[in-house]
Amino acid sequence: MSTSAIGSTQFLVRFTVKQRIEHVITMVVFTVLCLTGLPQKFYGAMWAQKLVMLFGGIDAARWIHRACGWALALSTVAHFGSAIVTIAGHKTRLTMIPTKHDFDDAVATLKYYLGMRDHGPKYDRYDYKQKFEYWGLVVGNIIMVVTGFVLIYPTILARFLPGQLVPAAKMAHSNEGLMAFLIITIWHIYNAHLNPDVFPFDTTIFTGKISRERMEHEHPLELARLDGQPEQAGEVASPHGREVVG
């Protein structure tokens, strides 16, 4: 981790170039998958038919959808491949693994929202919402990739397994896709754009940089570790504003 100063604000590097590229790839691929996939689920609607036409017809749209599906599959494999290598080489801390602490954080946050606590919990490198979204994406990706391959190659599947797995895969693919779309458009767009703490745009995942001020509020435990002061862990910080400190 390095720090840099622009103007009077001090910035910390939060994401590596690799992580930023992975986010851009996922963002583009996910968007195109939604644009070419959802019209297939809602094929009866006018907007769906217009959207499909925009891609040059269902056959072209489906080709693009499958190409992006392959890209998603490969990027997921690459992500875990490199993660395994890094973890095996002891070059990283396991910051994304959900723990009992995250569950307690979630409960504490809800209590804070409901006014049953004076302040929210202090988060480490990733808070429970970020871990939830990451693992949701991972599980979703695995479901979408596996069922997607069943739908591209149904005859190969039926050579080894019962044919009913094909409509089962279609049911799962279609619903999981819709759920992923809803979670991203509601939850992710809120947290990355509409949330008053970051409005209108949390640029960290693109620039890799986060201000020290935001780190203090959003990831104080991580900041303390970076500063070599893990004893600060006892201090109070709110997840979204200086005003509520204390």
Binding to another protein by residue 39, rule CB under 8 A? yes
Q: Which stretch binds another protein (CB under 8 A): 27-35, 76-84, 183-191, 203-211?
A: 183-191
Nearer to another protein by Cβ, of 80 and 112: the residue is 112
Q: Which two tokens stand for residue 244?
A: 């509520």
Question: Which residue(s) pair with 3 in the sheet?
Answer: 12
Question: Cα separation of 168 and 182, whole Å?
Answer: 21
The interface mask with another protein, positions 216-245, x = CB under 8 A, is ------------------------xx-xx-
Residues 205, 16: Cα–Cα separation, whole Å: 9
First and final C-alpha spacing in the chain:
30
63 in contact with another protein (CB under 8 A): no
Contacts with 177 (C-beta within 8 Å, 6 or more apart), sequence order: 33, 34, 37, 38, 41, 144
Tell the smallest beta-carbon distance from residue 218 to another protein (Å). Answer: 13
According to DSSP, the residues that pair with 5 across neighbouring strands are: 10
Q: Is 98 in the site for another protein (CB under 8 A)?
A: no
Q: Please, what is the minimum distance in Å from the beta carbon of residue 228 to another protein?
A: 31
> How many other CB atoms sit within 10 Å of the CB of residue 148?
25
32 touching another protein, by CB under 8 A: no
d(CA 132, CA 96): 9
Binder of another protein out of 15, 70, 80, 187 (CB under 8 A): 187
| Closest distance to another protein from the beta carbon of 76 (Å) | 21
Q: Give the span between the Cα atoms of 207 and 51, in whole angstroms.
A: 32
Candidates 21, 24, 53, 107; binder of another protein (CB under 8 A) is: 53
Geometric angle at alpha carbon 109, from 132 and 183, rounded to 5°: 35
Q: How far apart are CA 79 and CA 81, in angstroms?
A: 5
CB of 167 vs another protein, minimal distance in Å: 5
Under the binding rule (CB under 8 A), the answer on residue 59 touching another protein is yes
Tell me: does residue 166 bind another protein (CB under 8 A): yes
Pairing status of strand 9-13 against strand 3-6: antiparallel
Which residues would be at the binding site for another protein (CB under 8 A)?
Answer: 39-40, 43-44, 48-49, 52-53, 57-59, 61, 110, 112-115, 151, 154-156, 158-159, 161-168, 170-172, 175-176, 178-179, 182-183, 186-187, 190, 195-196, 240-241, 243-244
